[in-house]
Structure 1
Amino acid sequence: MNTEYQTSVHALHERQSRRKSGPSVLVFLFVWIILIGTGILGAIWYSGKIKQSITLEVGQQTSQQITAMQNGYEAQLKQLEAQFKGDIAKLQGKVDALNELLEFSKDNASNKTDNSNKLFTQLSEVKKQLNELKKDLDVLK
């Protein structure tokens, strides 16, 4: 049989055990919340570091690709410029030849053959000089 004293001691003991378990649950919850918070903060910090690293790598790759493209375009432009200069020089030669032909045709169409025909006049002068050189050569022999 339980006495009233034993019952009150037993009730007091239960209260004390409840009080002891109460703070341990609070400590457990507090530690658990701190661990979860630390994990979240660590994940945020790590993802920031990875984001910064990836951004830096992508920036470097983009810069390298842009430089390579610029070099390629510059090389193509230089090649095209050289090709165009050659084509222009050829075309200029053809234009000059055509101008000479037109000038010769214009001179021949005129009534004044000796005065207006520049090419004929120049050929005459060359023939005269050639004849003079032949005479000088004959004298030297």
Structure 2
Amino acid sequence: MGTGKKTNCNRGDDMETNTEPSSAYQNRTSRGKSPSVMLVLLVWILLIAAGITGAYLYSNHVKQDMIRQLQADTHKQMNELKQSYEAKFTELSGEVKELESKVQSFNELLTFTKDNASNKTDNSNKLYTQLNEVKKQLNELQRKMDLLK
């Protein structure tokens, strides 16, 4: 006891230096990564995949809604255009019929005047002038109708 050193039998056994890794450490390194790290990586991969899938499905949903809305708007505008076209066409048809009846009445009047008048009178000249004006208007309306068709 005079040396001041105490020895412990149990401690000496523990103090032996071991150059080989312990079996617990060896088991962890041989597997690569611990199960908790693998689980976290798997959860992250699943979350990323779910996020990408969700974004893809949502973008498709938004795209389909936009297409439906555009189709509805286009259909509405086409119906309005069709109604406007039909109204203009009906209006022009009425004007053409009115002008045709005027031309017909002018032709009848002209024929009557020709039969009852001399070769060249002021009345017949006036009727020819009016008839030419009506024909011009009729031709103009006919061109407008052709453009609408």
Report 1:1-141 matches (<5 A): 2-4=15-17, 7=18, 11-15=22-26, 18=29, 21-105=33-117
Aligned amino acid, residue 92 of structure 2: L
Number of residues of Structure 1 aligned to a counterpart in Structure 2: 105
5+ unaligned residues in a row in structure 2: which ranges?
A: 1-11, 120-149
Aligned amino acid, residue 89 of structure 1: S
Q: Deviations over 1:21-72 (max 9, x none)?
A: 5222221211111111111111111111111111110010000000000000
Aligned amino acid, residue 72 of structure 2: Q
Matched with 2:128 is: none
Aligned amino acid, residue 23 of structure 2: L
Q: Deviations over 1:94-113 (max 9, x none)?
A: 100111122335xx78xxxx
Aligned amino acid, residue 99 of structure 1: T
Q: Percent identity?
A: 27
Separation in 2 of the partners of 1:82 and 1:29?
Answer: 79
Say which structure is richer in helix: 1
TM-score normalized by the length of structure 1: 0.63
How much does 1:79 deviate? 0.9
CA RMSD of aligned residues (A): 2.6
For CA contacts below 8 A with separation 6 or more, give which structure has more relative contact order.
2
